[in-house]
Chains A and B, each alone.
Chain A
Amino acid sequence: MKVFRVLKPGLFTTVQDLGRYGHLKYGIPISGAMDTFSFISANLLVANNPNDACLEITLIGSELQALKRTQIAITGGNIPLKINGQNAPMWQTLDVQEGEIVSFEKMESGCRAYISIRGGINAPVVLGSKSTYVRGGFGGLNGRQLKTGDIIEGFDASSLRFRYSMPEELVPQFTGKFTVNVVFGPQADMFPEKSIDTFLSNPYMVTLEADRMGYRLEGSTIEHKDKVDIVSDALLPGAVQIPKNGKPIIIMRDAQTTGGYPKIAVAITPDISLLGQAKPNDGIEFSKITVIEARKRFSEYQKLLNGLGRMLLKSQD
Chain B
Amino acid sequence: MKSESHMSARHLPFGDTALVVEFGNTISLEINTRVIALSEAVQKAKIEGVEELVPTYRSLLIRYNPLKTSYEQLVFRIKDIEKTLKETATKVESKRITIPVIYGDIYGPDLVHVARFHGLSEKQVVKLHSEKEYRVYMIGFVAGFPYLGEVPDEIATPRLETPRLKVPAGSVGIAEKQTGIYPCEAPGGWQIIGRTPIKLFDPRQQPPALLKPGDTVKFKPVSEKEFKTIEEATLKSVYSSFSEV
Q: A residues engaging B (CB < 8 A)?
A: 21-28, 126-127, 133, 135-139, 182-187, 230-234, 236, 238-239, 256-259, 263, 266-269, 291-292, 294-295, 297-299, 302
Contacts and interface: CB of A to CB of B under 8 A. Distances in A.
B15 A236 contact: yes
Contacts of B208: 23, 26, 28, 127
A230 B184 contact: no
A259 B209 CA distance: 19
Given A232-B140, A269-B17, 4 more contacts: A21-B51, A26-B209, A126-B203, A236-B17
Contacts of A230: 25
Interface in B136-157: 138-145, 147
A133 B203 CA distance: 11
Nearest to B142: A27
14 contacts: A21-B52, A26-B139, A26-B208, A28-B143, A127-B203, A127-B208, A135-B142, A136-B143, A186-B22, A233-B20, A233-B56, A234-B56, A257-B54, A268-B15
Contacts of B55: 25
A270 to B, nearest CB: 9
Main secondary structure of the interface of A (DSSP, over half): mixed
Interface of B: 12-18, 20, 22, 25-27, 51-59, 61, 63, 66-67, 70-72, 138-145, 147, 184, 186, 201, 203-204, 207-209, 212-213
Contact of B140 (A27, A127, A239): A27
Contacts of B209: 26-27
Contact of B15 (A22, A24, A239): A239
A22 B52 contact: yes
A87 to B, nearest CB: 40
A25 B213 contact: yes
A185 B20 CA distance: 9
B59 A233 contact: yes
B208 to A, nearest CB: 5
Given A22-B51, A266-B15, A294-B16, A231 B58 contact: yes
Contacts of B142: 27, 135-136, 256
Contacts of B58: 231, 233
Given A136-B203, A138-B203, A269-B17, A27 B145 contact: yes
A298 B52 contact: no
Contacts of A267: 15
A61 B142 CA distance: 29
B45 to A, nearest CB: 17
A258 B56 contact: yes
A291 B16 contact: yes
A294 B72 CA distance: 13
Contacts of A136: 142-143, 184, 203
A101 B122 CA distance: 62
A233 B66 contact: no
Contacts of B213: 25
B57 A232 contact: yes
B140 A256 contact: yes
Contact of A298 (B13, B26, B67): B67
Given A231-B26, A233-B20, A238 B15 contact: yes
Nearest to A184: B13
Contacts of A299: 66-67
A27 B141 contact: yes
Given A25-B139, A25-B213, A234 B15 contact: no
Contact of B13 (A24, A25, A183): A183
A298 B184 contact: no
Contact of A24 (B54, B141, B184): B54
A107 B117 CA distance: 53
A58 to B, nearest CB: 22
Contacts of A258: 56, 138, 140-141
A21 B201 CA distance: 17
A298 B16 contact: yes
B184 A137 contact: yes
A199 B22 CA distance: 24
A232 B147 contact: yes
Contacts of B70: 292, 295
A185 B14 contact: yes
A295 B71 contact: yes
Contacts of A22: 51-52
A127 B61 CA distance: 21
